[in-house]
């Protein structure tokens, strides 16, 4: 549908989708706030995330080129939209701790929801506090906690893969954990930066093979994991490379 009628229909659907997002998110936050046990809370969050896509009719296809390893791993995914955390919550098993920029703690409901789900918050601008956060996350990795990162740290409206921060790869290297690159496609079309009304665009999550380094590749392990993960994501993302890895 084109022209003015098409704009009206898209705006009406966008308003409905935004209402679904808000309603399900509030209900999920309440459940997560009152449910005992981290496992129960993560299951509730996963069901809520899946309900959002079911109720809005946004297709979410999960393609497994590889498989998540049975042991704890570090998932790294591209970041393109406000919805990326919801998408991964719906697509991944409910045993991952998400590592998120600390600025989100200024949003009370989001902070409550994420904290109750066992998320970890990382300071990006204070070096001393950031180092303390990194040590805490490393302890979780060494304790066998599965972690999920968006190594770009933030997103913009411009398509493309931005520079990666090293935290995810340093944690995986020091804890001896495999890294699983995951690609999210379509999220920028549904809800990009600087827009609040969603659009109905199919979503795809591609889970690739775990990256584990051989004995001959152990030198500069974190850098190698970063470079290989970035290359893997770019192979499937169909967006340009906006900057070399750090």
Residue 41 lies in a domain: no
List the CATH number of the domain containing 192. 3.40.1130.10
pLDDT single digits (tens) 182-229: 999 999 999 988 888 899 999 999 999 999 876 555 557 899 999 999
Mean pLDDT over 169-193 rounds to 92
Mean pLDDT over 111-122 rounds to 90
Give the C-alpha separation, 60 to 213, whole Å.
31
User: Is the pLDDT confidence value at 10 over 90?
Assistant: no
Residue 66 lies in a domain: yes
Residue 24 lies in a domain: no
Phi, psi of 10 (to 5 degrees): -65, -40
| Nearest residue to 47 via CA among 28, 20, 19 | 28
Residue 71 lies in a domain: yes
pLDDT, mean over the chain: 89
Share of the chain above pLDDT 90, in %: 61
Which contiguous run of DSSP H or E holds residue 185? strand 179-185
Residue 155 lies in a domain: yes
Q: Does residue 199 or residue 131 have the better pLDDT?
A: 199
- For the question of whether the overall pTM of this predicted structure is more than 0.85, the answer is yes
Query: Which of helix, strand or coil describes residue 158?
Result: coil
The model's confidence at residue 141, banded by pLDDT at 50, 70 and 90, is confident
| Nearest residue to 98 via CA among 160, 182, 25 | 182
Residue 225 lies in a domain: yes
Residue 11 lies in a domain: no
What pLDDT sits at residue 219? Answer: 54
User: Which structural domain range is residue 200 located in?
Assistant: 59-237
Residue 178 lies in a domain: yes
DSSP codes, 43-86 = HHHHHHHHHHHHHHT--EEEEESS---SS--EEEE---STTHHH
Total structural domains in the chain? Answer: 1
């Amino acid at each position: 549908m084109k022209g003015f009628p098409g704009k009206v229909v898209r705006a009406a659907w966008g308003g409905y989708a935004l209402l679904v997002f808000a309603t399900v998110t509030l209900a999920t936050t309440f459940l997560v706030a009152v449910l005992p046990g981290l496992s129960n809370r993560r299951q509730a969050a996963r069901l809520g995330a899946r309900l959002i896509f079911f109720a809005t009719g946004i297709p979410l296809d999960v393609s497994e080129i590889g498989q998540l390893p049975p042991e704890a791993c570090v998932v790294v995914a591209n970041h393109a939209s406000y919805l990326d955390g919801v998408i991964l919550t719906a697509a991944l098993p409910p045993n991952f701790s998400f590592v998120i920029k600390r600025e989100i703690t200024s949003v009370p409901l989001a902070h409550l929801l994420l904290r109750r789900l066992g998320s970890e918050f990382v300071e990006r601008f204070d070096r001393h506090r950031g180092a303390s956060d990194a040590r805490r996350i490393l302890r979780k990795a060494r304790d066998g906690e599965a972690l999920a990162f968006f190594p770009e740290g933030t997103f913009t409206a411009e398509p493309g893969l931005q520079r990666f921060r090293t935290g995810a790869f340093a944690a995986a290297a020091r804890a001896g954990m495999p890294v699983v690159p995951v690609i999210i496609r379509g999220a920028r079309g549904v809800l990009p930066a600087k827009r609040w009304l969603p659009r109905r665009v199919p979503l795809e999550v591609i889970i690739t093979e775990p990256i584990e380094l051989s004995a001959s590749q152990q030198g500069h392990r974190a850098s190698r994991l970063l470079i290989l993960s970035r290359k893997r994501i770019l192979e499937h993302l169909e967006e340009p490379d906006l900057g070399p890895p750090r």
